[in-house]
Structure 1
Amino acid sequence: MTGSSATTDRPFTVLFVCTGNICRSALGAQILSARLAAADVTGGGHPIVVSSAGTGVGQGLTMPDEVVEQSIRFGGSPEGHVPTPLDRDLVAGADLILTATRDHRSDVARMLPRASRITFTMPQFARLAADAPAVDDPWELVNEVAAQRGSVAPPEQAEEDDIEDPYRRGTATYARVGDQIHELVSLIADRLAQAGDRA
């Protein structure tokens, strides 16, 4: 988490965060990885690295079959996913942190207060990024989106910046959440593509 890095070869790192790292964050990371790979996107000549972690990873947790199905439906690669506990090092190493809910965003900020500048819920970042100006690299995109927090009106209902937890909620809920994450991540992938060169 070091801001713009246009003069170095280091990758731009995106970290998705939810609770168990088996549903929302795993799905978001897998969809974004697939979208970026399909478009052969790099961030202004920098590789984009995507990962995910959870604030409450439990022993023996695995991705539910319903989430695996959603990931495959949107081009993701769920095989081999191992839930990763969120820690301070992961937060410190990220350039953009996308959380499932406002509570997860707060968890990240408590873990490393300076990370609050680059931490957004998925709906929040997608909403703000949609109107962000054109930039030369993904670090600048994050800076522009962060600058809009105080100037762009929040949603009428604060809950609109959250993604519901589909865990054990039924097939229809998994599909609805999958559709929502796919829509949000697709917009984010497009903005990252616009902020970087195609390899």
Structure 2
Amino acid sequence: MTDATTAVTRPFSVLFVCTGNICRSALGAQLLKARLDAAGVTAGGHLIRVASAGTGMQAGLTMPPEVVEQSRRFGGDPSRHVARQLDRDIVADADLILTATREHRSDVARLLPRASRVTFTVPQFARLVAETEPAADLWEFVAEVAAERGLVPPPANADDDDIEDPYRRSAETYERVGTQIDALIEVIVTHLARSGDRR
């Protein structure tokens, strides 16, 4: 994590987090990267770096074919994905952390408490960005989004700030989760683009 005075010395970094890093976080990262690249959005003159990790990654697991299908369906590139275990260094390197659930958000905070100020669930961040005015750059924008936490009413059902885990469930579940993530990423990209630079 960086502050606005040092931000321009390195790329803005977005980290997606779920459990195994083969479904939700992998898909979210791939779709965000594809959309940002297509829109030509940069930060401080750098390409935005998008990565993902899992809180309970198991060695040898790969993206299920259903998730690969969803990634390609929405324009992502799953071909180079390699799951990795979340650790403190990965958290410390991120300027924005998007998690699949509130539990994952808590896992991030336990690894590095100060990261909680830039950590949101994906649905939560999409909800908050819609209420946040554009900022001078993406680092400032994330700070402004964080400031909205106590001002924007939470969903009536707290579970709406989570994304369900489709792993080993029905094809319909994979499709439903893929569609949800795609819609959330579209909202996020639209608002990030207003505070980012353009190539």
Same fold (TM over 0.5): yes
Shift of residue 7 of structure 1?
6.4
Give the structure 2 partner of residue 34 of structure 1. 34
Shift of residue 136 of structure 1?
1.6
Q: Residue type of the partner of 1:138? A: L
Shift of residue 43 of structure 1?
2.0
- Superposed CA deviations along residues 106-145 of structure 1, whole A, max 9, x for unmatched, are 0000000000000000000000001101112111110011
The answer to which of 73-82 and 6-15 deviates more is 6-15
CA contact 2:7–2:44 (8 Å) conserved in 1? no
Shift of residue 47 of structure 1?
2.2
CA contact 2:7–2:139 (8 Å) conserved in 1? no
TM-score, with structure 1 as normaliser: 0.97
Distance in 1 between residues matched to 2:188 and 2:76, nearest whole Å: 16
- Extract unaligned runs of 5+ from structure 2: none
> What SS does the corresponding residue of 2:197 show, helix, strand or coil?
coil
CA contact 2:8–2:44 (8 Å) conserved in 1? no
Percent identity for Structure 1 against Structure 2: 67
Q: Residue type of the partner of 1:24? A: R
Give the structure 2 partner of residue 58 of structure 1. 58
Give the structure 2 partner of residue 170 of structure 1. 170
Shift of residue 188 of structure 1?
0.8
Shift of residue 186 of structure 1?
1.0
Give the structure 1 partner of residue 124 of structure 2. 124
> What SS does the corresponding residue of 2:13 show, helix, strand or coil?
strand
Runs of 4+ aligned residues of structure 1 deviating over 3 Å after TM superposition are none
Q: Residue type of the partner of 2:88? A: R
CA contact 2:8–2:43 (8 Å) conserved in 1? no
Give the structure 2 partner of residue 103 of structure 1. 103
Give the structure 1 partner of residue 70 of structure 2. 70
Shift of residue 3 of structure 1?
2.5
Q: Residue type of the partner of 2:188? A: I
- Extract unaligned runs of 5+ from structure 1: none
Matched, 1:154 2:154: yes
Question: Over aligned residues, Cα RMSD in angstroms?
Answer: 1.1
- Superposed CA deviations along residues 16-58 of structure 1, whole A, max 9, x for unmatched, are 0000000000000000000011111112433210000000000
Q: Residue type of the partner of 2:163? A: I
The answer to which of 3-12 and 44-53 deviates more is 3-12
Give the structure 2 partner of residue 187 of structure 1. 187
Shift of residue 75 of structure 1?
0.6
Aligned residue-pair number:
199
TM-score, with structure 2 as normaliser: 0.97
Shift of residue 172 of structure 1?
0.4
Q: Residue type of the partner of 2:172? A: A
Q: Residue type of the partner of 2:29? A: A
